[in-house]
Chain A
Amino acid sequence: MDFSFLLLALGQIISPQTIAYALAALGLAVQFGFTGLLNFGQAGFMAIGGYAFAITTLHLGFPFWLAVLATLVATTVMALVLGIPTLRLRADYLAIVTIAAAEIVRYVVKTPDLIPLTGGSDGLNGAAVTFDALNPIPPGSYGFGPLRYDENDLWIILVGWIFVILVALLVRQLMKSPWGRVIKGIREDEDAVRSLGKNVFSYKMQSLILGGALGGLATIINIIPTSLQPDNYGTQTTFFLLTIILLGGATTVFGPLVGAIVFWIVLSLADGFLSLAVQYHWLPITTIQQGPVRFIIVGVALMLIVIFRPSGLIGKKREAFFA
């Protein structure tokens, strides 16, 4: 019996995918957990950011830093476009508009007419060149057991984690600052903040832009070791992120990080156990039926967390009544 999946699951702790989801979840936590904005289109911000990076790198030959700047510009524009009509309205309008916008982005980049630009359903490949060119790590194979990384994998993992931790520290300081107090005030009682003379709309917009930018940057980390696939940024991605922040604690800075790690370890373990169960016929299911199971797990987990532990793993109970 092959138990190597246990180690592979452990590898999820540092995988670029976990880093990307941690970062995107942190962005969503800024919007949802701290500000109370129902952004259900974080996947759309991720897609826009990813495409901005990949297209400027592959078609325009931008250097790495300029492509990152393009990502930030793209997500900011998206935040403005979505925020201006909806941030003055009731919370669920933002939810519906953002989820709709995310789907618009996905449908548009998948259009066959745009294949020369976006690659259609196949997405874009090879956006990592400018990043890998900066790699100072000597070529080789690193790691142990089934966890092997080449120099480029190691490079993105290192840079990714350092970046995520820096961003988390930055967000923590932000939330302790006067700016953060206003943001949290908006979550608790928007009118009270307004009565203090604060421009609530502007603060919400800043929060939306910050969270969206983190989503866009997350995609860069996600696509560098693999490729940009439009269907990886469907609504289910936003719901995964929602599960992650609620799992870790939506109103904390390090909750999304912990949540992302736990989330991917659990999914990886579940996949591993299911593969074994299918292989040895412990369960009456086929290999094809194995695919949907992880989504069923996420769905049920999301319901259970919200019902029984809305403050998450490391959240404070006092702040649990989000939005």
Chain B
Amino acid sequence: MRHDTTRRRSGPAALLTVIATAAFALILAFAGAAPANAASSPSPSPSSSAAQSIQVWIRKASDRSDVPGVKVTVSQGSFSQTVTSGDDGKALVPVPAAGTYKVDLDASSVPEGAGTVPTGLNPRQVVVSAGNQGVPAYYILVAPGGGATPTPGASGGASSGAGGGGSGADSGASLFDLIAPRIVTGLIFGLLLALASIGVSLIYGTTGLNNFAHGELVTFGALMGYVFSAVLGLPGVVAIIAATVLGGVFGYVQDLGLWRPLRRRGVALVPLMIVSIGLSLALRYLFQFIFGADQLVLPADNRAAFILGPVRLRSTDIISAVICIVLLLLVAFVLLRTRIGKATRAVSDNRSLAAASGIDVERVIRTVWVGAGSLAGLAGVLIGYYQSLRWDTGASILLLIFAAVTLGGFGTAFGALVGSLVIGVITDVSTVFIPNNLKYVAALVVLIAILLVRPQGILGKASRIG
């Protein structure tokens, strides 16, 4: 495969603009709504002292309108509590301990004409881990004869997104009310993607490898977060730090044990890419072998902590966004201002020239692998908080990562950031117009469309694409 060595990187200005814009959009939203938050406290819970709670939410499938007055019983052993859904169709049930609870909707209390719960989804078992707040037990009532498909929030995987942030709109909602929350959650998702994408881009820039096993670095971080928080019961901060550090170690070990020996053997780029595919397959199913095929849930408070008009965010969403922005600024600083960052960009630009001018290329690549691993690990654990996680969480977003990197321009770290934000917003906003399960398709279609018009990506240089 031919390779163009004249890679150019966009200036620092572009990067700072992008980060600043993303940060600004979020900060603006937060700052503007802080008083509103204080004024209207979100979903009042009768006894919020309980460490765990289940969020019941009943809606109609036809127009997603909330259904009030439905009786739901949550029980486990001797514990049993019956609640009635409020005007917003919701009811928060505090539960005393972690465990599996039976959530049973009383079909006779459903208002006339509101529809019925699809069979098989009621009663259902809801798993509550220690410290989980607002574990979803969502019911979508299907009108008799209506062809709508039930999508229970609890099993929605990626689709459950930011805790109902997007889907909380009322039936009479304006287009703005539908789109605004999705832009915010999309930006947050984009920031999470960016953490992972920058690693892909840097590895590609310094070694030429399209790492198809990058999704597994992300999953690894998510699973480590799960081990530390849900299994060992440590606080979330510890889990996040552990995932980041261990992700870095994983990246280092991968480079040391696999990629460096292969570089030494002079294996060409396409075989390397296929090796990464094999590694991805092996690791992914190793994760399934160890952790099982089910959804895993990180203990977190899933109640909306922050409400501004149609935008509802959980505290984890806000914390994740802040962590991402800080980390991305840090990466930018490292790349632009430090010795190793400059060396990295030099190796990306022209490897031979960098080596000839005394840069230790192997050391740069090692650093890039450690950095990419820890960023991906962090992205993984944050994505675990953002949605839920599984053995294939990383693999399922790998194509979005590639889309983001391609969109921004291969090998340009800052392009990866722009691409990620674009992909994140497109993915979430598209659900207004197309079915939820096609939201990744929107991003991939945009990827193909962009390649038609501007194959070098948004920030890439035309000379590179050969």
Contact = CB atoms under 8 A, between A and B. Distances in A.
Contacts, number: 140
B451 interface: yes
Contacts of B288: 291-292
B451 A242 contact: no
Interface residues of B, number: 47
A100 B437 contact: no
Contacts of B403: 96, 100
Contacts of A99: 399, 402
Interface string A233-259: 000100100110010000000000000
Interface string B358-383: 00000000000000000000000000
Nearest to B403: A100
A286 to B, nearest CB: 10
B466 A303 contact: no
B274 interface: yes
A296 B441 contact: no
Nearest to A322: B270
A1 interface: no
Interface in B237-280: 262, 265, 267-268, 270-271, 273-275, 277-280
B50 to A, nearest CB: 34
B444 interface: yes
* Majority secondary structure, B binding face: helix
Contact of B451 (A86, A236, A285, A321): A86
Nearest to B292: A288
A128 B142 CA distance: 35
A215 B210 CA distance: 25
A85 interface: yes
A107 B440 CA distance: 8
A307 B262 contact: yes
B282 A296 contact: yes
Given A104-B441, A107-B438, A293-B289, A239 B281 contact: yes
A302 interface: yes
B118 to A, nearest CB: 12
A108 interface: yes
Contacts of B2: 90, 190-191
Interface residues of A, number: 50
B6 to A, nearest CB: 13
Nearest to A246: B274
A295 interface: yes
A296 B292 contact: no
A299 to B, nearest CB: 3
A101 B288 CA distance: 26
B437 A112 contact: yes
Contact of B268 (A97, A236, A300, A321): A321
Contact of B437 (A111, A303, A306): A111
A92 interface: yes
A92 B210 contact: yes
Nearest to B265: A307
Interface in A113-160: 113
Contacts of A108: 438, 441
A299 B437 contact: no
B278 A303 contact: yes
Pick the most buried of B2, B4, B410, B441: most chain A CB atoms within 10 A of its CB. B441
Given A107-B441, A190-B2, A303 B279 contact: yes
Contacts of B437: 107, 110-112
A239 B395 CA distance: 14
A113 B466 CA distance: 41
A101 B267 CA distance: 28
Contacts of A58: none
A321 B269 CA distance: 11
Contact of A111 (B279, B438, B452, B466): B438
Contacts of B286: 292, 296
A95 interface: yes
Contact of A242 (B149, B277, B292, B406): B277
Interface in B190-236: 210
Contacts of B410: 92
B282 A307 contact: no
Given A112-B149, A298-B281, A323-B1, A104 B445 contact: yes
B448 interface: yes
A300 B283 CA distance: 9
B440 A103 contact: yes
Interface string A176-189: 00000000000000
Interface string A15-53: 000000000000000000000001000000000000000
Contacts of B274: 242, 246, 302, 306
A296 B285 contact: yes
Given A89-B451, A91-B270, A100-B448, A302 B399 contact: no
Contacts of A212: none
B146 to A, nearest CB: 13
Contact of B406 (A93, A289, A310, A322): A93
B314 interface: no
Nearest to B445: A104
B1 A90 contact: yes
A323 B285 contact: no
A91 B1 contact: yes
Interface in A162-182: none
Contact of A38 (B270, B282, B435): B270
A239 B278 CA distance: 8
A287 B28 CA distance: 52
Contacts of A77: none
A301 interface: yes
A190 B262 CA distance: 26
Contacts of B275: 302-303, 306-307
For the complex of A and B, list the 6 residue pairs with the smallest distance between their C-beta atoms, beginning with the closest. Answer: A299-B282, A302-B278, A299-B281, A292-B285, A303-B278, A295-B285
22 contacts: A85-B455, A86-B451, A90-B4, A92-B410, A96-B399, A104-B445, A107-B437, A108-B441, A112-B149, A239-B277, A289-B289, A291-B288, A292-B289, A299-B281, A299-B283, A300-B282, A302-B274, A302-B281, A307-B265, A321-B268, A322-B271, A323-B268
